Amino acid sequence: MRVALMVTCVNDAMFPGTGQAVVRLLRRLGVEVDFPAAQTCCGQPMVNTGYLDEAVPAVRSFVRAFEGYDAVVTPSGSCAGSARHQHRLVAQRSGDTGLVAAVAATSPRTYELSEFLIDVLGVSDVGAYFPHSVTYHPTCHSLRMLGVGDRPRRLLEQVRGLRLLDLPKAEECCGFGGTFALKNSDTSVAMGSDKARHVRETGAEVLVAGDNSCLMHIGGVLGRGRSGVRVLHLAEILASTEEQPA
Amino acid sequence: MSATFVGMPAFPSAARTALGNTQLRHNLAHATGVIRAKRAAVVGEVENWEELRLAGAAVKERALRSLDAHLVQLEESLTARGAVVHWARDAAEANRIVVDLARAREIDEVVKVKSMVTQEIGLNEALEASGIAAWETDLAELIVQLGGDLPSHILVPAIHRNRAEIREIFTRRMGEVGRPAPDDLTDEPAVLAGAAREHLREKFLRARMAVSGANFAVADSGTLVVVESEGNGRMCLTLPEVLVSIVGIEKVVPTWAELDPLLRLLPRSSTGERMNPYTSTWTGVVPDDGPQEVHVVLLDNGRTRALGDPTGRQALRCIRCSACLNVCPVYERTGGHAYGSVYPGPIGAILNPLLRGTGDPQTDSLPYASTLCGACFEACPVRIDIPEVLVHLRAEVVDAHRADRLPKPEALAFRGAAWAFGHAQRLDRTEWLSSLAGRLLRRRGRTSLGRLPGPGAAWTDARDLPAPPTETFRAWWRRTDGGERP
């Protein structure tokens, strides 16, 4: 099986540790993963702000980079959602039937990390060790666009040493929303503050989620409040071992 | 005296004001929380809820597909049963019809059933301008009207008010327009409802004309349906001599059979009840029983425009249940007034631009008043994919500015992004700059950025932002051959 890592533009530029964690984790599970260097961005920031024409070059880069792979794995629910649900829209808008066909081939082979681990590899115990109390925020696109359900929790429950604490109102949006965080920053912060409050109510040391963009927002609110809660991507906890702790 | 939404600022600025209203925040968080829990409980009881949603979406979709034929049939059926049918292209036409009907009968006051469409067209204001008093008889609408306030929710328009505020409004205002509130009025819900009942009773018994909307209009029988919870609707629909119903053309269903899934979906989604308390149906005029003059105004007011939008037309399936408002995390914090329309929340964010067209700053801000979290789509009983329509309308807003001679900074930024994301080498070069910034910052021990100037302030005013790493993932992969080399 040829597996490619789609690291996402946010992780590439801001959170390389998450991409490195996916590589370590998949190797440990016996999966040889490629990083096609032609990849850039899934196009979601443009699509979700209404700039469909501007998303076309990104979608072209996507299919160019990932054509021919059996599976494209990404540590982001929202970027997987973009590839699976929005690429067709962008390709149709471009009027390029070749791009429409290429998207039809790559879209269904794109998996969010927890989907790939549970559905494709069939593992829930990935041999991780993380001796901390953790609470999990299910990000909206992974929950409602992809329907990952309890897959991330099933993976976390198998991590040795990890104590999983329930997050109140877990399924409520954190208020990030891409450019919403800037265009409607006041509302975004109001939502983020409530999410941060619920995180603190759990008493957990670490907040985990499957999307670093949401974590950057919640972590930004937690950090500004000097709350002493660490935010960490799911991949980094799953990659964590006694020898190489996260 | 009555307030209007005309001249409301764009959503971000109206939202900022609303977010600062601590009483509003408290009232809304409490009220939406209660309704959400009620809805979740009664929806959870229905084993085949998803099938029911599919059925609801399908019947509305079918009705909309042959809307023209159903409307003609509705007119024929209504006329055959003694009703008079009027057609109104827009708000002004509809309002004129109602005013003329009242004037011709020397009527100077009407009682009203709670109706979204009459608020949409500003009927109360039009009647008032012609010297005709319009009395709202739904409890929450009465609170809004007496308070000189604006509705902030489709189902519970006074959701932004708590009972202490309501007591104050009743005490201050009831006496000015009719029977005053009793001197010993408390803020117990039952006592407040009792005062409203006494106040409204004399209006029901006096009024010669009633105005209603309709939840559904059955084409083959010519039957209108109103769904309500207080019995005030039934009083209005049965007591006066003249009944005028204003009905959006999207309310038509072909036969009674279509009402089956819709009447099961609506109460569970809106009030969180298993069955609706008062469901009134009437078919034209019944001799010596109820209103002897029945008028039906079929209103377009942008609905044909919405129907012409292949992605947006699904919004016309809406049955005004407000489930999307109650689950929306944005609505919960800003309340309804920030949307600047009688249709607030997620459905308002798509319905207003679809009915009115995009192009003015307030309407153009509405499709962006969402994080696209998808909670609205999940709750919608007729499966309107609100996030899909929001993105579609955002594109419409952006496309309308493509020919601008001076592009907005945002447009330039996305053009730059399109260029960079077109080829990995270009992105790599752009990222080199962020890595350089990361190295400089981290050398000084900075792991997060302070307050940024310009547009970055929107983020950093209230949130930390991590300093960029010293090396991108791409550069790390290249340097270490994917971690194979140290």
Please indicate if any CB of chain A lies within 8 Å of the CB of B369.
yes
Mean local confidence (pLDDT), B288-317:
97
Shortest Cα distance, chain A CAs vs residue B15, angstroms: 7
**A9 and A115 inside one domain:** yes
Measured between beta carbons, the chain B residues lying within 8 angstroms of A187 are: 12, 15, 19, 330, 333-334, 369
Inter-chain contact B15–A55, Cβ cutoff 8 Å?
A: no
Give yes or no for residue B451 having a pLDDT over 90. Answer: no
Long-range contacts of A195-198 (CB under 8 A, 24+ apart): A195/A137, A195/A221, A196/A221, A196/A222, A196/A225, A196/A227, A196/A229, A198/A167, A198/A168, A198/A169, A198/A170
**A40 and A137 inside one domain:** no
**A103 and A171 inside one domain:** no
Please indicate if any CB of chain B lies within 8 Å of the CB of A58.
yes
Structure tokens at B474: 């791409």
Are B266 and B230 within 8 A, CB to CB? no
B-chain residue closest to A225, CA distance: B463
Query: Given A90, A120, A150, which residue is the final one in a domain?
Result: A120
Nearest to A14 by CA among A41, A35, A37: A41
Please indicate if any CB of chain B lies within 8 Å of the CB of A146.
no
Task: Answer yes or no: is A232 within a domain.
Answer: yes
Inter-chain contact B483–A24, Cβ cutoff 8 Å?
A: yes
pLDDT of residue A236: 98
Q: How confident is the model at residue B101 (pLDDT cuts 50, 70, 90)?
A: very high
pLDDT of residue B2: 55
Shortest Cα distance, chain B CAs vs residue A172, angstroms: 7
**A38 and A99 inside one domain:** yes
Please indicate if any CB of chain B lies within 8 Å of the CB of A9.
yes
The model's pLDDT over B225-244, given as tens digits with 9 standing for 90+, comes to 999 999 999 999 999 999 99
Query: Given A120, A153, A181, which residue is the final one in a domain?
Result: A120
Question: How many domains is chain A partitioned into structurally?
Answer: 2
Facing B464 at nearest CB: one of A54, A176, A224: A224
Burial of A178: CB neighbours in 10 Å, binned 0-12, 13-18, 19+: middle
Give yes or no for residue B133 having a pLDDT over 50. Answer: yes
Please indicate if any CB of chain A lies within 8 Å of the CB of B359.
no
List the CATH number of the domain containing A170. Answer: 3.40.50
The model's pLDDT over B325-353, given as tens digits with 9 standing for 90+, comes to 999 999 999 999 999 999 999 999 999 99
**A160 and A116 inside one domain:** no
pLDDT of residue B449: 86
The model's pLDDT over B354-384, given as tens digits with 9 standing for 90+, comes to 999 999 999 999 999 999 999 999 999 999 9
Give yes or no for residue B1 having a pLDDT over 70. Answer: no
What are the pLDDT tens digits along chain A (246 aa)? 999 999 999 999 999 999 999 999 999 999 999 999 999 999 999 999 999 999 999 999 999 999 999 999 999 999 999 999 999 999 999 999 999 999 999 999 999 999 999 999 999 999 999 999 999 999 999 999 999 999 999 999 999 999 999 999 999 999 999 999 999 999 999 999 999 999 999 999 999 999 999 999 999 999 999 999 999 999 999 999 999 999
Are B334 and A187 within 8 A, CB to CB? yes
pLDDT of residue B485: 86
**A148 and A110 inside one domain:** no
The model's pLDDT over B240-255, given as tens digits with 9 standing for 90+, comes to 999 999 999 999 999 9
**A163 and A185 inside one domain:** yes
β-pairing, B216-218 with B223-228?
antiparallel
Q: Find residues 89-118 of chain A whose CB sits inside 8 Å of chain B.
A: none
**A110 and A163 inside one domain:** no
Q: What domain range is A183 assigned to?
A: 133-239
**A46 and A9 inside one domain:** yes
B11-303 — its CATH code?
3.40.50.10420
pLDDT of residue B455: 86
**A50 and A140 inside one domain:** no
**A78 and A141 inside one domain:** no
Structure tokens at B344: 């607030």
Where are the strands (E) in B213-347, listed by range?
216-218, 223-228, 242-248, 252-253, 278-283, 293-299
Number of neighbouring beta carbons within 10 Å of residue A116: 23
CA distance A18 to B280: 59
Structure tokens at B219: 């084409």
Q: At B218, phi and psi to the nearest 5?
A: -90, 120
Mean local confidence (pLDDT), B123-136:
97
Inter-chain contact A50–B394, Cβ cutoff 8 Å?
A: yes
**A105 and A20 inside one domain:** yes
Task: Answer yes or no: is A169 within a domain.
Answer: yes
**Is the reported ipTM for this assembly greater than 0.90?**
yes
